[in-house]
Amino acid sequence: MKKYRLSRDRKTLIVAKDSIVDKHLRFEGSILAGIMATFWGNVEAKEVRLAGRNFVGGDIICKRAIVGPKTEFGRIVASGNVVIFPKCKGRYVQADSVIIKEGCVIGAVRANRIIIDGLAKIGQLEGGKIIASREL
């Protein structure tokens, strides 16, 4: 079975669920990873979308990233927006704008705008505008 395939318009690389990619993955368009896909190397693309319960051993280098729930990653370096869904674990996030959902554990976040939606553990925050909100 193939680990990944191209979409019909050839702008999205689709990584199948439960896949293990044991090398660096670089693509000019978008990378869409299915649930429980594992990446041992770096993931580089214009846009990276992880479905959830993924593991990225290397860095995620992109313009935009959407990180699904319960994903583990090392570093995210993005020039645009990053959305991190609940219960993710990571060492470092650097982006223009970051939204962090409830239950995340992240070592350090550096961004111009940081929105923390719910209770999250973040070791170090560095940003221009930091908004923390919690629904009751």
Q: How far apart are CA 69 and CA 16, in angstroms?
A: 17
Task: Give the start-to-end residue ranges of the domains of the chain.
Answer: 4-100
Confidence of residue 82 (pLDDT cuts 50, 70, 90): very high
Question: Under 8 Å CB-to-CB from 75, ≥6 apart: which residues?
Answer: 59, 60, 90, 91, 92, 93, 94
Percent of the chain with pLDDT over 90: 92
Confidence (pTM) = 0.92
What pLDDT digit, counting tens, does each position of 46-75 carry?
A: 999 999 999 999 999 999 999 999 999 999
